[in-house]
Amino acid sequence: MADLLQLNQQFLQAFGENGQNIQYYYAPGRVNLIGEHTDYNGGYVFPAALTFGTTLLLRPRGDRVLRMASANFPLTGEIDLDSIAYREEDDWMNYPKGVVKELQNRGKGPAHGYDMLYSGEIPNGAGLSSSASIEVLTAYALLAEGGHGIDRTELALLAQKSENEFNGVQCGIMDQFAVANGRENEAILLMCDTLEHRHVPFDSGDCVLVIGNTNKRRGLVDSKYNERRAECDQAVHDLRSAFPDLTLLGQLTPEQLEQESGRIASDTVRKRAKHVVEEIARVLESVRVLEKGDLNAFGALMNASHDSLRDLYEVTGLELDAMVEAARMVPGVLGSRMTGAGFGGCTVSLVRKDSVDGFKAAVADSYTKKTGLIPDFYVCSIGGGAGRLDAPV
């Protein structure tokens, strides 16, 4: 987590005056541990909040102006609470602005302005939910400052709606939900369309999570995402001759799909359906083995998930495969897989603590030789959700 004393100094440099009345809030990033491309197919995902994220320092003002600054970007701004609108040139500030607008739409907008300094530890564009972290953080802080009660599911929905409608990004609910509802050493079994969920113990023992950022720009994600959704819809269409009420692949068991997969005309579409249905089964099996504390079994499920995403769903690519292959060669690695939409972004590996230094060195060397890119690594555990921080002393 960020150094609050250091951020205090940056806050005073940005906004002047003294250090009185500054309040401190935090929201994590998130990683999906297993369950990829299942959400839009009516299946479970299994995200967790991370032990790094975004910190917000804010101080009330006597007027109707929000002054925003970031420890990560030079761009600052002054926003009138009575005329909030999306402006492309406002860049990162559009995320908190969207949340403020959504709060106003619900009759819970701030009654006065604030000076606001954001500090993020989440790499942008890596698929670890920097935008969701900012959104949930802003909503939590302004609701708390305004004396409003906070329902964490509503908090996630508010943040998602602001990103969908104000920023025009049609994201699902998983990111905001995990950021809002994270608990230390617990992952979240989540059905995205119904928000049915439960927290599952994740006792990592002598292991940590290592997030590997491929630093590959994910240029194919949107087009391939739409293509995969269409293929899944086609699979449902083809299978309705056996299952007339079928609307989503997530309604099938692996046994049902195996029995009737010949009804799917295309080999490619058959592979897509097989990944989805088996991946949902892997998520449920992950819950079972983690409740028994079997990290080795969970690592094997991580490996199987990546292999399915590579061979059946075909959304990995050279960089993700190179990083996962290198990770699995390192002693002390229980499992490694891509996380997120694919075609770049990040991997997540479960690594014994005493192997982490060797892991970073060996994976970086192998990965750079294969791809010419230099990776970044983030060592973390599963942390808590959004909340208020104590003032530094």
Identify the CA nearest to 229 among candidates 144, 174, 170, 285: 170
- Residues 116/135, Cβ–Cβ less than 8 Å: no
Q: Which residue has the tokens 């009737």?
A: 260
Angle (nearest 5°) at CA 219 between 375 and 359 = 20
| Whole-number Å distance between alpha carbons of 177 and 173 | 6
> 336: which 2 tokens?
């490694």
Q: Is the alpha carbon torsion for 219, 131, 337, 193 positive or negative?
A: negative
Those residues whose C-beta lies under 8 Å from the C-beta of residue 110, and which sit 6 or more positions away, are 66, 81, 100, 103, 142, 145, 146
Rounded to whole angstroms, what are the CA distances from 235 to 120, 238, 252, 301? 41, 5, 12, 24
> 262: which 2 tokens?
């010949």
Beta bridge partners of 66: 79, 114
- Type of residue found at 214: T
Q: Could you list the pLDDT tens digit for every one of the 393 residues in the chain? A: 679 999 999 999 999 988 789 999 999 999 999 999 999 999 999 999 999 999 999 999 999 999 999 999 999 999 999 999 999 999 999 999 999 999 999 999 999 999 999 999 877 666 676 899 999 999 999 999 999 999 999 999 999 999 999 998 878 899 999 999 999 999 999 998 899 999 999 999 999 999 999 999 766 677 788 999 999 999 999 999 999 999 999 999 999 999 999 999 999 999 999 999 999 999 999 999 999 999 999 999 999 999 999 999 999 999 999 999 999 999 999 999 999 989 989 999 999 999 999 999 999 999 999 999 999 999 999 999 999 999 998
| Whole-number Å distance between alpha carbons of 301 and 295 | 10
> 295: which 2 tokens?
């990290």
What is the separation, in whole angstroms, between the first and last Cα of the chain? Answer: 16
- At residue 223, the pLDDT reads 79
Rounded to whole angstroms, what are the CA distances from 298 to 286, 303, 304, 384? 6, 9, 10, 21
Task: Set out the domains of the chain in order of their start, with CATH numbers.
Answer: 4-201+383-389 (3.30.230.10)
Identify the CA nearest to 335 among candidates 321, 350, 325, 324: 350
Which amino acids are annotated catalytic?
Answer: 175
Q: Kindly report whether the global pTM for this prediction surpasses the value 0.85.
A: yes
> 209: which 2 tokens?
């999570």
Identify the CA nearest to 50 among candidates 176, 185, 151: 185
- At residue 170, the pLDDT reads 79
